[in-house]
Chain A
Amino acid sequence: QVQLVESGGGLVKPGGSLRLSCEPSGFIFSDYYMSWIRQAPGKGLEWVSYISDSSTYTNYADFVKGRFTISRDNARNSLYLQMNSLRAEDTAVYYCARIGPNNAYYFDYWGQGTLVTVSS
């Protein structure tokens, strides 16, 4: 069955960097667009970024543009989110999610999430 497992979260100081990873299984990773979505404590869902199946296309929410970079390695079956210049407001659970078939931009499978805390 489809599984997505995130890792790399933790406590980081404002201005610091962190790299999140997501390891998929149960499907052909290279066939799907992938995305990161976050949820601040007690708040709703915010889309962060997506990447196309072959990494040709990426897209970012304005609030992370220029600070976060999404990437993937299809040979290693891994998705990444490099987060730089972190701010307190980036504190959230970050979910890796698969984008539905035919790039329909809904999220049909989600990981369990990894918590990023930005605090001094």
Chain B
Amino acid sequence: NAGVTQTPKFQVLKTGQSMTLQCAQDMNHEYMSWYRQDPGMGLRLIHYSVGAGITDQGEVPNGYNVSRSTTEDFPLRLLSAAPSQTSVYFCASSYDGSRKKLFFGSGTQLSVL
């Protein structure tokens, strides 16, 4: 049982480059979300989705784009990377919106130079 799988684990980008962080879950969870973790700031919600075709913004959505074409996958796109986007990114899913615990992926450490 894989749970929530994130790729890549590490990535270095140059300012202005674009990339996609991948997230997949095999638990048939309707709810999926992306967080960034920065020292001293906890986890901040970037975007979330309550099902295929439905996405919405979280606390810090600027500079990020998401789509949800299937229940399993929820990729996060950085359109034009900036040094301020250097962070650790976590994907998480849950069975029932915000009423059940989140299952987290292993994280992606992103550095933007």
- Asked whether A and B interact, the reply is no
A residues neighboring B (CB under 8 Å): none
